[in-house]
Amino acid sequence: MRIVRRIEPARAASAATWRRGQSRLAIPPALRHHKAMVIGRFFGWLLLLAAAAVIVRDATIWAELHRLVPLSLGGLWVELSASTLRSTRNSIEQAAPWLWTLVVGRLLLLWAAPVFVVCGCFLLWLFRRRRQRHFH
């Protein structure tokens, strides 16, 4: 004997999109998507704020020394936590020495500000609010 549950017509469309076996208190897919967009935009703005901080740091050093000394990703990592950089380098070199030399080491030499700006703008673009298109 099979038990059939009646679904009201207004909720039939939303119930069909939910996975089978989920309770009625489950988060609808639209809200899960909204939370991901908010988190993505938060990290995008955080990266742009980090880029601004790096630019301010570079500008103050330039004003004092009259010489541009841009902060690299590796330099930033050393300033924040040198021990994690050493342990990460040791772990990568044990697994694949070429990976540190050819890829990671070169990425850490890049100026931090443009990297943060590009990554932040990409996240803001990726998680932007999209207009709903209405077709008549």
The range of the structural domain enclosing residue 50 comes to: 31-70+112-128
- What global pTM score does this model have? 0.70
How confident is the model over 107-126, as pLDDT tens digits?
Answer: 999 999 999 999 999 999 98
Answer yes or no: is 54 within a domain.
yes
How many structural domains does the chain have?
A: 2
Judge if 105 and 116 occupy the same domain.
Answer: no
Reported as half-sphere exposure (CB side, CA atoms, 13 A), residue 51 has a value of 17
How confident is the model over 12-22, as pLDDT tens digits?
Answer: 545 455 455 55
Judge if 41 and 66 occupy the same domain.
Answer: yes
Interatomic CA distance for residues 78 and 101, integer angstroms: 17
Answer yes or no: is 1 within a domain.
no
Judge if 64 and 41 occupy the same domain.
Answer: yes
How confident is the model over 19-53, as pLDDT tens digits?
Answer: 555 555 555 565 567 888 889 999 999 999 999 99
**For residue 111, what are the β-bridge partners?**
72
Answer yes or no: is 121 within a domain.
yes
Judge if 57 and 80 occupy the same domain.
Answer: no
Answer yes or no: is 88 within a domain.
yes
Judge if 88 and 103 occupy the same domain.
Answer: yes
Contact assessment for residue 121 and residue 48, using Cβ atoms and an 8 Å cutoff? yes
Judge if 56 and 116 occupy the same domain.
Answer: yes
How confident is the model over 69-90, as pLDDT tens digits?
Answer: 999 999 999 999 999 999 999 9
Judge if 66 and 116 occupy the same domain.
Answer: yes
Judge if 78 and 48 occupy the same domain.
Answer: no
Neighbours of 124 (CB within 10 A): 16
Judge if 123 and 100 occupy the same domain.
Answer: no
Answer yes or no: is 79 within a domain.
yes
Interatomic CA distance for residues 61 and 50, integer angstroms: 17
